[in-house]
Chains A and B, each alone.
Chain A
């Protein structure tokens, strides 16, 4: 049973560019959330997707956008990259039916470096 998978694992971009990160949730999960983790800090919530719609959003600018597909996978898009966007981007999924619906499973993350 594959867990949460993210791609790419590492990438380097320059300021002003755009990036797309991808996430496949754990089998049986239908809710995906994205977090940003700067070096030495705890993860910060970006947004959550359920039924292909953004349901909750953290304190992030509109440069951060996302999408959820019918197969529950998700993308995180960041436009006009800034140096401060350099971070580990984590995807988390959970199920909304059955047991353990509260348990979030995290992927290994995509490490973005902006030069």
Chain B
């Protein structure tokens, strides 16, 4: 079973911030939170990852709660091209490729 739980689907208006939540209450101390997204019929694309500090890159921001039991991926200005399935996963960085994907969150960006 996946170590994370995410809402099945979400809607967001184009131009607004999309906030995607993820629960990972059983995360271990050496596990990172990773986010990937998968646009229809393409391979998953890496977005961002973090251990305990908030992270930001050119695609998104990752907010991890102090107890590390949940996180939020923020797409600051959603566009139609952000419509995809977003996967939140936990894994030991740099070692474990045996990633357990859940069903992810299907994000619909509305024009």
Contact = CB atoms under 8 A, between A and B. Distances in A.
Interface of A: 4, 31, 33, 40-45, 48, 56, 58, 88, 90, 92, 94, 96, 101-109, 111
Interface stretch (B19-27, B38-46, B61-69, B71-79): B38-46
A85 to B, nearest CB: 18
A92 B101 CA distance: 14
B97 interface: yes
A102 B101 contact: no
A4 B42 CA distance: 12
B103 interface: yes
Nearest to A106: B43
B35 to A, nearest CB: 12
Given A41-B103, A42-B87, A42-B103, A104 B46 contact: yes
Given A102-B32, A102-B93, A102-B94, A42 B101 contact: yes
A109 B32 CA distance: 25
Contact of A105 (B2, B46, B100): B46
Contacts of B101: 42-44
Nearest to A92: B97
Nearest to A4: B43
B97 A42 contact: no
